[in-house]
């Protein structure tokens, strides 16, 4: 049996917010890591960020690969025992063309899993989202057996639903005695520190706007949340837990956390520019047709949907980081102008 130092794990989208944390957790646990980047120019940024938190960057290498192209993927999966398929576009707003989100998510997932299967990868851990479970719910509790209706949700949620379904379909069609295994992780809103200080992601951008006073009012939105470090650790735990194979796991707080609580936590932590004025929902709805960001947001207004995360805790050993810790660490990690 191979030791962890001999096992290579591919992390797709390693330059992203979650991908970097997954790489850090893998290196900390003793694995070798290969990351995909769309441009090798990003590789050194990732290596530098990881070097600040890990002394094992010599066990890290990169391959250039794009979710919409065949090039690079055979090289990326070669010699890998596991794959963490983290890469997928994420925006809260509605794009002009839904396929800008859906195509990379679905085609990219099919491409990564197909190359992984052909290369003899043992298990793929796919990053999906709670929106694939609860985005058409107004209240109640969503669990791993639930699926949102892709015809009743926005483009981002639809992309996650269709990508996850495509993954399950591909794995289900396998023949042979040792089929590749699939585990799906469905995180909620991801908070916690960024390793680079950059705010290119949706959640980091939102917190950055809050602490800089660029969000004058807080919308009536409540979502299940999770710390990015927990997301990374649960992905790593999912690699070798036998019971996890063929299952999906909800990775979000049991209760939906109001954005007002997020704002108040940051204000109490000393970020004085944070506004705690509530945005009138009727006004946001009136303005939504004229704003891509608001159009994506209004479907979440007033929703109070909980999450059944019990199996994630039991099977994958998740011990949630307090959200106050996540938010304060996130704000502290963001480069201040």
C-alpha pair distances (Å), 146 with each of 113, 159, 249: 23, 16, 11
Residue labelled with tokens 């859906």: 102
DSSP per residue over 74-126, as a string? HHHHTT-SEEEE------SSPPSSTHHHHHHHHHHHHHHHHHHHHTT-SEEEE
Question: Does 160 participate in catalysis according to the annotation?
Answer: yes
Give the burial class of 212: count Cβ atoms within 10 A of its Cβ; 0-12 exposed, 13-18 middle, 19 or more buried. middle
Element of type H or E holding 234: helix 228-237
Rounded to whole angstroms, the Cα distance separating 111 from 319 reads: 33
36 contacts 76 by C-beta, under 8 angstroms = yes
Rounded to whole angstroms, the Cα distance separating 54 from 149 reads: 41
> Catalytic residue among 69, 160, 267, 295, which?
160
Annotated catalytic sites, by residue? 160
């Amino acid at each position: 049996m191979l030791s962890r130092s001999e096992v290579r794990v591919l992390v797709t989208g390693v330059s992203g917010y979650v991908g970097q944390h997954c790489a850090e957790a893998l290196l900390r646990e003793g694995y070798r890591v290969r990351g995909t980047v769309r441009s090798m120019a990003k590789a050194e940024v990732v290596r530098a960020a990881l070097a600040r938190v890990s002394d094992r960057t010599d066990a890290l290498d990169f391959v250039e690969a794009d979710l919409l192209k065949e090039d690079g993927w055979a090289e990326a999966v070669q010699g890998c025992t596991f794959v963490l398929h983290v890469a997928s576009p994420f925006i809260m707003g509605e794009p002009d063309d839904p396929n800008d989100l859906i195509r990379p998510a679905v085609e990219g997932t099919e491409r990564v899993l197909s190359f992984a299967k052909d290369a003899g990868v043992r298990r793929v851990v796919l990053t999906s989202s709670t929106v694939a479970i609860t985005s058409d719910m107004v209240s109640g509790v969503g669990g791993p057996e639930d699926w949102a209706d892709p015809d009743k949700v926005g483009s981002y949620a639809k992309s996650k639903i269709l990508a996850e379904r495509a993954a399950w379909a591909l794995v289900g069609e396998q023949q042979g005695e040792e089929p590749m295994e699939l585990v799906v992780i469905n995180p909620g809103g991801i908070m916690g520190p960024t390793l680079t200080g950059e705010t290119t992601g949706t959640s980091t951008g939102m917190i950055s706007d809050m602490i800089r006073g660029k969000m004058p009012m807080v919308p009536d939105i409540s979502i299940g949340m999770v710390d990015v470090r927990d997301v990374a650790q649960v992905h790593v735990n999912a690699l070798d837990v036998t019971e996890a194979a063929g299952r999906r796991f909800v990775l979000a707080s049991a209760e939906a956390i109001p954005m007002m609580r997020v704002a108040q936590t940051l204000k109490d932590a000393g970020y004085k520019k944070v506004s705690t004025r509530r945005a009138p929902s009727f006004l946001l709805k009136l303005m939504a047709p004229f704003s891509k960001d608001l159009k994506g947001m209004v479907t979440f207004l007033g929703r109070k949907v909980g999450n059944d995360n019990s199996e994630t805790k039991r099977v994958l050993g998740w011990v949630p980081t307090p959200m106050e810790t996540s938010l304060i660490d996130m704000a502290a990690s963001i480069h201040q102008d």
